[in-house]
Chain A
Amino acid sequence: MKKEPVKVKEASAEIRVGNFAEVVQGYSEEEALAESSRCLQCKNPLCTSGCPVGIDIKKFIYHITQKNYQAAYFTIREKSNFPSICGRVCPAEYQCRKECILTKKGSPFASEQAINIHFLERFIGDYGKNNNLNVPEEKEERFTKFKVAVVGSGPAGLCCAGELARKGVKVDIFESLHKTGGVLRYGIPPFRLPWDILDFEINYLKKLGVNFITNFLVGKAKAVKELFSEGYSAVFLGLGAGVPSFLGIPGENSCNIYSVNEFLTRVNLMSAYKFPEFHTPVNIGKHVLIVGGGNTAMDSARVALRLQKLKGYPLNTTVIYRRTEVEMPARRLEIEHAKEEGIKFEFLVQPKEFIADEQGFVKKLICLKSKLGEPDSSGRRRPVIIEGSEFELDCDLCVIAVGLKANQILINATPDLKTDKYSDVIVDSESMESSIKGVFAGGDIVGGEGTVIEAMGMAKKAAQSIIGELSGR
């Protein structure tokens, strides 16, 4: 008999919109066992081919069925450093689960029937965390004389630092913000990735000997070149993609129009939802519009809804997207969560102009309707504006979530560092070494906006190259 997928427990939509606590509660042991038993243990599993770092998914799920959680943990850890994090934020429905044999052929994302690999990964990651499992250190005396500078404490930087420290290399991570974690801290809201999960991973790195230097902006306070003269043997750049794109339409600088990064940083990093206990303010409106269809759009919509609830406003947050739901790049899981919470969606809508009141605060957004035309370079059907379809939406707060570009400060301060037309750092795809010898890079600063696991994959490769190079010295 075909077994139905095991649903994961979630905080009820009604309650969760009033707080920032984690929504997905994760599997219990019984649930994990039941879900893992649905895995067909394919002879030629396709799931692994969908994983950017090639986790042996079949094997770790098999270990779960045998209640050998420790073995499952170490199977994942062969390829992924942060299973608790990836189990929460990986877009599994576009990756491993999409390739699962139980996904309907030709589906643009995983079918509901596909094994809930991400929830199983999370279960195992949390098991490892709760039982203090960790891959053994492989400290080698010959590496202890080297120190490496990691710039940026986001997913790529953390992963690279961990890999190097495990071998005995001394690692300093430079972070320009006052807190560590990069986008995992300022970008992803705690209702998707609770801080204790992130802090656990960071504390583990500290225990490994990794030294975190916050409030330090490499490129301004120190040049990359100087790091070498100060005795660092290599530099890893995990700078991230943090520069927000805007629409470039009239009225966009009106008050209460936020980039997604500003909105999320105020709320996540600066805890503006606890103003005035925390001193950073954020505004909220009664007619909130979010422009965009990616994960940051979903995150900011759900943050806005929570702010409305905390303020006692009626819940009224609408996502406007220029294509349709199928083309939305956001995680399907988070689109569902957003819908459950009461986020409204307007598809095939193109913003044209913001109208502000006399004090400069936005009050309306003039939009155009569109229809889908031929596919563009991304393979998604291009939205085509319908002439004369202009209409107005009430809008007293807007978040622009239409993409993020490479962080620029270090790149601009380092002319020898070769970049492509997107200002991403060019690296050798095998070694992850940049145009400057001894300077490696990974994460969003290399591939543009990507996922945590992709960043991790690149960082791991870079760490291996660095170790390789240090071995020869």
Chain B
Amino acid sequence: MKILNKQIINDVAGVKITQLDILAPDIAAKAAPGQFIMLMASENGERIPLTLVDTDKLKGTVSLIFQEAGFTTRSLGRLNSGDVLYSLVGPLGHPTEIKKYGKIILVGGGVGIAEILPVARALKKAGNQVTTILGSRNKELLILEEELKSTSDQFYVMTDDGSYGRKGFTTDMLKELLDKDKYDLVYSVGPIPMMKKVAETTRAYNIKTLVSLNALMVDATGMCGCCRVTVGKEVKFSCIDGPDFDGHGVDWDELQKRNKVYSVQEKHICNLFPAS
């Protein structure tokens, strides 16, 4: 649970994205793409889930990439190499189903791009033809471009302001590709509105679409039900049934609302302990 390496991936315009490499041999030995961990930054801390971005089985490390969005991710961002997390447990959730699908499109947005990376690598290795579409507000905020480019057969960047790649949403490019060619799988991680739009886009083309959900969790072993989501009219627990689900079945509005259930407290605690 000791942090061996810390790297600030991005720190511009109020967006701070950090990578931590943490010593956790038992987790590293078993983790597969798509799985996550739960951690506590300090003894009084909250338990939060983060997707595993990379593992090094030889060194026994796991890598996490997170954007400082709330109190806990901010606390985590203040830890340095040599610091020890109070709690780290995993690997949790089902791994993403890795097999040869054929032609696939990966759609990543924001810090979700980091979570796409391990899946992209595994799907590429499994013999798939990989097309990646990344979305970002602007050029500066784009992360892991080189890493994803090198694992993709086709690679596109969409920015909101057109400062890099093409101007527009990831789904604009997605639609273009789907109009031109036949694909076997779309896999998407990013902000809820983006994943929702991806699922809406692919529905018309009847393409299997997997999304990795980021519901709130407490224990993450199936005991609290905080992470329950409705998928295809059934209630599922993201922690033990997911985190990957059929994007066409997800009740996105419910998930969006449930993820905001503590927004008042989040604001309060962030104001109480402002950034140093």
Q: Bound state CA distance, A221 and B55, in angstroms?
A: 14
Closest A residue to B261 by beta carbon equals: A255
Is B60 part of the binding interface, using a Cβ–Cβ cutoff of 8 Å?
Answer: no
A265-B224, A270-B218 known; A255-B71 Cβ under 8 A: no
Q: Is the CB of A256 within 8 A of B261?
A: yes
Pairs A-B, 4 closest by C-beta atoms: A360-B257, A242-B223, A262-B224, A281-B265
B254: chain A residues at CB < 8 Å are 253, 360
Of the candidate stretches A25-33, A127-135, A189-197, A272-280, the one touching chain B is A272-280
Is A437 part of the binding interface, using a Cβ–Cβ cutoff of 8 Å?
Answer: no
Q: Bound state CA distance, A244 and B47, in angstroms?
A: 19
Is B46 part of the binding interface, using a Cβ–Cβ cutoff of 8 Å?
Answer: yes
Is B225 part of the binding interface, using a Cβ–Cβ cutoff of 8 Å?
Answer: yes
A246: chain B residues at CB < 8 Å are 225, 228, 235
| Besides A279-B75, A407-B221, 5 other A-B contacts (C-beta < 8 A) | A177-B89, A255-B258, A255-B260, A262-B225, A265-B224
Total contacting residues, chain B, CB less than 8 A: 48
Chain A residues close to B by CB (< 8 Å): 176-178, 186, 214-217, 220-222, 242-244, 246, 248, 252-253, 255-256, 258-259, 261-262, 265-266, 270-271, 275-281, 283, 359-361, 407-409
Set A177, A186, A242: member contacting B222, Cβ < 8 A:
A242
Set A176, A186, A259: member contacting B89, Cβ < 8 A:
A176
A176-B89, A215-B88 known; A270-B224 Cβ under 8 A: no
Is B145 part of the binding interface, using a Cβ–Cβ cutoff of 8 Å?
Answer: no
Q: Is the CB of B269 within 8 A of A270?
A: no
A178: chain B residues at CB < 8 Å are 40, 47, 86-87, 89
Is B118 part of the binding interface, using a Cβ–Cβ cutoff of 8 Å?
Answer: no
B184: chain A residues at CB < 8 Å are none
B235: chain A residues at CB < 8 Å are 246, 248, 252-253
Q: Bound state CA distance, A216 and B266, in angstroms?
A: 28
CB distance from B91 to the nearest CB of A (A): 6
Q: Is the CB of B222 within 8 A of A221?
A: no
Docked complex: B73-108 residues within 8 A CB-CB of A = 75, 86-92
Q: Bound state CA distance, A42 and B88, in angstroms?
A: 55
Q: Bound state CA distance, A409 and B35, in angstroms?
A: 14
Q: Is the CB of B269 within 8 A of A265?
A: no
Is B268 part of the binding interface, using a Cβ–Cβ cutoff of 8 Å?
Answer: yes
Closest B residue to A360 by beta carbon equals: B257
B224: chain A residues at CB < 8 Å are 244, 259, 261-262, 265
CB distance from B219 to the nearest CB of A (A): 6
Q: Is the CB of B90 within 8 A of A408?
A: no
Question: Per-residue 0/1 for B9-30: is the Cβ within 8 Å of any A Cβ (1 yes, 0 no)?
Answer: 0000000000000000011011
CB distance from A251 to the nearest CB of B (A): 10
B47: chain A residues at CB < 8 Å are 178, 270, 280
Q: Is the CB of A276 within 8 A of B265?
A: yes
Closest A residue to B230 by beta carbon equals: A253
- Between B30, B72, B222, B230, the greatest number of chain A beta carbons within 10 A of the residue's beta carbon is seen for B222
A279-B44, A279-B46 known; A221-B30 Cβ under 8 A: yes
Docked complex: B209-232 residues within 8 A CB-CB of A = 218-219, 221-226, 228-230
Set B40, B90, B230, B265: member contacting A217, Cβ < 8 A:
B90
Subset of 12 A-B contacts with CB under 8 Å: A176-B221, A178-B87, A220-B90, A243-B223, A255-B258, A256-B261, A276-B268, A279-B72, A281-B266, A360-B254, A360-B260, A409-B221
